[in-house]
């Protein structure tokens, strides 16, 4: 899976330009994977940066700080517009928190573009971070190595949200139309398949 779909996407007549929300977090690791796949990338820090991007990656980081920076740079509406135009979005860890409809146990605001409820730091502190192999049918039979760092937990999802992977019975990878949300860090897995699949959606 992945490579053939990616090649199909790259062979389309329209340009692929992946935006990386570049306020904090390991957006550079996402960028390295996308460059490895032959994808042109752009660091996004203001609404104009996002205008002609075909895809958007919202990386991990510290979600409350991330949200303050998004609001300060007045980019919230541009991200929502990107989603409304059904352009693909990949949101990982804190990025997932930022786009979900609600954050339990916290009054934190969000962009509310993914019909899911999440809990911040649900597995504990940094010392409770872990790695495990995940079965993700959309990526083929080979397990995908999940890296969970102060990961959120998906508490509930809307009826149109597809659950793509579980860990201990809890969703860790979900999709609603053009939006993919992961509680783990695929950019740290050494495996390009999830990014290949993400690009193929556009």
Residue 187 annotated to the active site: yes
Residue 53 annotated to the active site: no
Q: Tokens for 156, please give them.
A: 């509930």
Beta strands in the chain (DSSP E): 17-21, 40-44, 55-58, 89-92, 100-104, 114-119, 130-134, 144-148, 153-157, 162-167, 170-176, 179-182
CA distance 140 to 154: 23
Residue 55 annotated to the active site: no
Catalytic residue selected from 30, 55, 82, 185: 185
- Bridge partners of 154, per DSSP, are 118
Phi–psi pair at 80, nearest 5 degrees: -65, -40
Q: State the angle between helix axes of 193-200 and 3-10 in degrees (0 to 180), rounded to the nearest 10.
A: 40
Catalytic residue selected from 93, 167, 176, 195: 93
Phi–psi pair at 104, nearest 5 degrees: -75, 150
Enter the DSSP assignment of 50: H
CA distance 195 to 145: 13
Active site residues: 93, 185, 187
């Amino acid at each position: 899976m992945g490579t053939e779909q990616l090649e199909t996407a790259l062979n389309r007549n329209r340009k692929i330009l992946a935006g990386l929300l570049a306020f904090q977090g390991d957006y550079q690791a996402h960028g390295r994977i996308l460059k490895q796949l032959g994808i042109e990338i752009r660091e996004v820090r203001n609404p104009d940066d996002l205008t002609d991007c075909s895809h958007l990656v919202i990386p991990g980081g510290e979600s409350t700080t991330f949200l303050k920076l998004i609001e300060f740079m007045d980019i919230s509406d541009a991200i929502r517009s990107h989603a409304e135009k059904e352009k693909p979005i990949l949101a990982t860890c804190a990025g997932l928190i930022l786009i979900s409809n609600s954050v339990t146990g916290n009054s934190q605001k969000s962009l509310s573009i993914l019909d899911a409820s999440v809990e911040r730091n649900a597995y504990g502190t940094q010392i409770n971070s872990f790695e495990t192999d995940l079965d993700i049918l959309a990526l083929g039979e080979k397990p995908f190595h999940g890296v969970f760092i102060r990961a959120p937990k998906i508490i509930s999802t809307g009826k149109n949200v597809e659950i793509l992977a579980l860990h201990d019975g809890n969703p860790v990878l979900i999709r609603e139309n053009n939006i993919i949300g992961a509680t783990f860090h695929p950019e740290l897995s050494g495996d390009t398949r999830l990014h290949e699949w993400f690009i193929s959606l556009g």
